[in-house]
Structure formats: structure tokens, C-alpha cells
Amino acid sequence: MVDYPGLTAEEVELLPSEEDVRLYSERGWYLSEKLLSDAETEALTEASERYYAGQRGRQLPMRPDRLADWTPADGDVQRNNDYIHYQDETIAGILRKPVIGAVAASLAQTDLIRTFQATLIYKPPIAEEASNIVSWHFDKYFWPTCSSGKMLTAFIPFHDCTEESGTITMVNGSHRWSHRHRADRPVGDPEDLGREYLLNGDAEKNEAVVEKVPVHIPKGHMTFHHCLLYHGSGANRSPRPRRAISLHLQDGTNSYRDHSLSTGRQTPYKHDSLVRRTAAGLPDYTDPEICPVLWPVPVSGGGA
């Protein structure tokens, strides 16, 4: 039996099987077993409400460009708040649960998983609210300075998440597409109103069929998706807010790269002004304060 330090025997049983890993490679996403207890999901909800009321465990050392940072003054729109894993220790402690990192490591077939970023998300129960609709995109587009192609995201709802509440919808196998709409913008850029047409155009270029899968995620479960997988979400038509965290994860090989040589442009990631610097003076994506190790379990218990 493989040794998994930091996991209980029950948690080892929750890890993806060899067949699950094969399907992840084929489809680009995975629905986990129940990784969080009801008490943990309730704690996430309560901590998020304290956060929305203005409570912060600690402040970011500076405000980076393009920071998603909803405040009550923004009104009843979809709320996105970046770096929740840095600002709230209750939430950070739950996100550091070893089994989450172990699942990610199994799927990405890597020995080390670090946090990259974590965003707290709240979709208000207003079906006609335009901000509730997250159009088709793939996460790696927003991380052009990342060297790894194995990064992945855990989508963690705090409750049962259904199509009615605007759950995440995956486009099966789209992480394997080599041709993507306009290298300078992802599918679903706010300037592009024809989201379906753009996605279908990408599929045609790749001689692929668009297979959309709205994932029903039971409470305590979560999805993991590859950084190149197209995904999005619809409006929240339920009577309750849809609450979740998007936990972006990096494998141990990931590091900063200057991508302007190949693209002719350099778009810094919001991290680049926050993290410490390497000996060469480049942004260090191994900064333990911003990008703590999740797997294997750090001996010291890790950062926030």
C-alpha cells in the first residue's frame, strides 16, 4: 500500500482511483468524493459572512492590479474576492486539509502541490443578473507567466451545487484542444458577446464536438479541472446564494516565465507584485506566504 503521511485510512479511500486519473486525463475534470464534513462547509459559510461584513485576519501587503475585491458598495452582483486563503485563517485552514492537496497531486501526477490563488465567490439568487454568468474560458489564459501546463483548479461549493444554482459546467476534453480563439483573448472575454459561437468555432478548428457537462456537486464534494479546460457557469435561478471557493493549484515544476518573447506582450499576473523575489530578481511562485505547500503535508504545518 502507498504511504500517504498526513491522511487517515478513511481519507486514503477517498483518493482518485487509477481509472479516475485516466478519466481526468481524458475529460479534463474530476468530481471528488466527500472531502469536507458538514461542519467544515458550515464553517466556510460562516467565515465568508464575517469576511463580507469586513473582518480580515490579515491584510495583503499591497493591492495588486486587477484584484477582484467585492465590497458592499458594489451592490448585489456576483462577488469575487481574491486571496481569501491569505486573508482569513478559518478558510485557509480548511483549504489546507491534506486530502485536498493529495487528490490534486494524484490527478496531476505530481509529487508536490502548492496553492496558487484562491477566490471566494458568491452568486446572488437573481436569475437576470448578468454578472452571474461566467462565460467560457480556460484558467491558464489568465496565468501567462506560469511555466507549467499541469496546473489545476478545485471548485469548492459550500452546499449542494446544481444546474439551477449555476454550477460549474465543463466542456469535456477541451483541455486537449490545440487551436484556441484569438491568442490575445480567451473565449468568453467580456468584449465577445457571442460566447457560444466562439466556443463552437474553437471546436470546429479542433475537429471536436462541444460536450457540455453541468456538474451536480453534492455538499462536501468538489470538482478539479485542468488549467486548459474550457468551463463556465450560468445564472443562479435558485432561491439561495451560490457560495464557493475557486482554489487554483500549481504543481512543483511551476515557476515564473517571461512569455513576451513568444507572444510579443507581457501581461503580469497579480501575484507578481506580491510574492518575494528569486535570486535572479523574478517573482517567486514558491513564496510560502502567498503560495503555501499543500501536499505533501509540510512538517511545520505550512503557511496561510
- Is the pLDDT score of 191 beyond 80? no
* Residue 138 near residue 175 (C-beta atoms within 8 A): yes
Residue 304: predicted pLDDT? 42
Residue 301: predicted pLDDT? 45
Nearest C-alpha neighbor of 82 from the set 284, 248, 260: 248
**Which sequence spans correspond to the domains of the chain?**
9-295
CATH of domain 9-295: 2.60.120.620
Residue 8: predicted pLDDT? 95
Neighbours of 175 (CB within 10 A): 24
Query: What pTM value is reported for the model?
Result: 0.93
For residues 185 and 192, what is the distance between their CA atoms, to the nearest angstrom? Answer: 9
Residue 302: predicted pLDDT? 43
- Is the pLDDT score of 78 beyond 60? yes
